[in-house]
């Protein structure tokens, strides 16, 4: 492995970490109802580069915009390093470009939330749909960065499709997790806008026809997480038993452990009425699980392509 490739891999890993920081800060903006702290101006804050007004919601939102702006600059550096370190046609270049495109769409979705007033106490269907798309986009952005990290160690190779059975398994794993992520995002929005005074009152509100639609659908997340979580563990265990690769066995073991502990963390968040710390930890854990899923998929691709390596 060349030194330049190693540096690129470390930079990609750092970007995965920084992505989580920006995502968590964005979640805190929503939790603290600071989404309208900068008003309806974007990318400026209160129509200024450095706003003169001094209030906590504004600084929370302004801080998120600064970290997001820095993120965009770092992605440009990542793309530059990808093109400098890897030859023409290398898959790293393609995924670096993909990360750049996903960063742009991420920024546009954030701008949409602000400019359309889909922040603060807004409880519309449009806000729920927009944050869902926002979440899926951020997951794929993180996935592209994880793949950049994992594939920077490989020589240039042609990606081969997985066997049909493996394709279906990973498609199921990814699809089910995306569903859980979307339902979790809506549930998080609901608990922010409509907090419960007790677990019992919250459950009663979930099943009340007079409750807001965000309250009525949030119960789908803990219920689906329970069944889907155990199903995913069983599905991943079949992969663990079938493969002979030590890397794959390690990654699937970690993934099963993360899902198991994630279920416990989710129940704790629910029973303790979603305190801020547990909300952020729960979101972090979801991205840990997603990262592990991507790494397992990446290893499966690597194993299926081993005989197709093309030396650079």
Which pLDDT score is estimated for 74? 97
Q: Are the CB atoms for 92 and 152 separated by under 8 Å?
A: yes
Identify the pLDDT of residue 309: 32
Of 2 and 42, the structure prediction assigns the larger pLDDT to: 42
Asked whether residue 37 carries a pLDDT value surpassing 90, the answer given is no
pTM of the model: 0.92
- What is the torsional sign of CA 155, 159, 162, 167? positive
- Looking at residue 154, its pLDDT comes to 65
Q: pLDDT tens for residues 65-80?
A: 999 999 999 999 999 9
Confidence band of 31 (pLDDT split at 50, 70, 90): very high
Region 171-178: what's the mean pLDDT?
96
pLDDT-above-70 percentage for the chain: 92
For 76, residues 6+ apart whose C-beta sits below 8 A from its C-beta are: 100
Look at the alpha carbons of 31, 34, 36, 42 in this order and tell me if their dihedral is positive or negative. Answer: negative
Residue 277: its pLDDT value, please? 94
Q: What are phi and psi of 309, to 5 degrees?
A: -65, 135
Determine the pLDDT at residue 167. 79
Cα(64)–Cα(57) distance, integer angstroms: 11
Which carries the bigger pLDDT value, residue 53 or residue 267? Answer: 267
- For residues 71-93, give the mean pLDDT: 92
pLDDT band for 164, please (50, 70, 90 cuts). low
**pLDDT value at residue 265:** 96
Tokens read off for 295? 């790494």
Q: For the segment 229-254, what is each residue's pLDDT rounded down to a tens digit?
A: 999 999 999 999 988 889 999 999 99
Is the predicted pLDDT of residue 4 greater than 70, yes or no? Answer: no
Are 97 and 145 contacting, i.e. CB atoms less than 8 angstroms apart? no
**Residue 171 half-sphere exposure, CB side, CA atoms within 13 Å?**
8
pLDDT of residue 12: 95
pLDDT score at 289: 98
Q: Looking at residue 184, what is its pLDDT?
A: 96
Average pLDDT score over the chain:
90
In 32-163, where does DSSP find H-type helix?
A: 56-85, 91-115, 125-151
pLDDT digits (tens, 9 = 90+) for 189-235: 999 999 998 989 999 999 999 999 999 999 999 999 999 999 999 99
């Amino acid at each position: 492995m060349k030194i330049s490739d190693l540096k690129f891999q470390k930079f990609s890993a750092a970007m995965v970490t920084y992505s989580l920081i920006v995502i968590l800060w964005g979640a805190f903006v929503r939790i603290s109802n600071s989404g309208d702290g900068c008003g309806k101006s974007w990318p400026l804050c209160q129509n200024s580069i450095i706003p003169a007004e001094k209030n906590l919601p504004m600084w929370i939102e302004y801080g998120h915009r600064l970290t997001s702006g820095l993120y965009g600059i770092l992605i440009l550096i990542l793309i530059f390093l990808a093109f400098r370190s890897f030859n023409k046609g290398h898959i790293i270049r393609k995924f670096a470009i993909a990360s750049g495109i996903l960063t742009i769409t991420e920024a546009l979705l954030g701008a949409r939330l602000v400019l359309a007033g889909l922040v603060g106490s807004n409880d519309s269907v449009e806000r729920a749909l927009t944050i869902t798309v926002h979440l899926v986009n951020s997951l794929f952005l993180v996935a592209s960065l994880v793949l950049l990290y994992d594939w920077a160690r490989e020589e240039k190779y042609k990606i081969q499709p997985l066997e049909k059975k493996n394709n279906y398994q990973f498609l199921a794993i990814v699809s089910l997790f995306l569903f859980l992520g979307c339902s979790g995002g809506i549930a998080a929005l609901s608990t922010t806008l409509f907090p419960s005074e007790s677990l019992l009152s919250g459950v009663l509100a979930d099943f009340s026809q007079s409750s807001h639609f965000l309250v009525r659908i949030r119960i789908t997340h803990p219920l689906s997480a329970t069944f889907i979580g155990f199903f995913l563990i069983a599905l991943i265990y079949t992969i663990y038993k079938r493969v002979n690769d030590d890397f794959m066995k390690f990654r699937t073991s970690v993934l099963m452990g993360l899902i198991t502990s994630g279920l416990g963390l989710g129940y704790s968040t629910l029973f303790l009425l979603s305190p801020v710390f547990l909300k952020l930890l729960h979101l972090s854990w979801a991205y840990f699980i997603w990262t592990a899923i991507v790494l397992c998929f990446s290893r499966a691709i690597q194993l299926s392509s081993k005989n197709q390596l093309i030396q650079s």
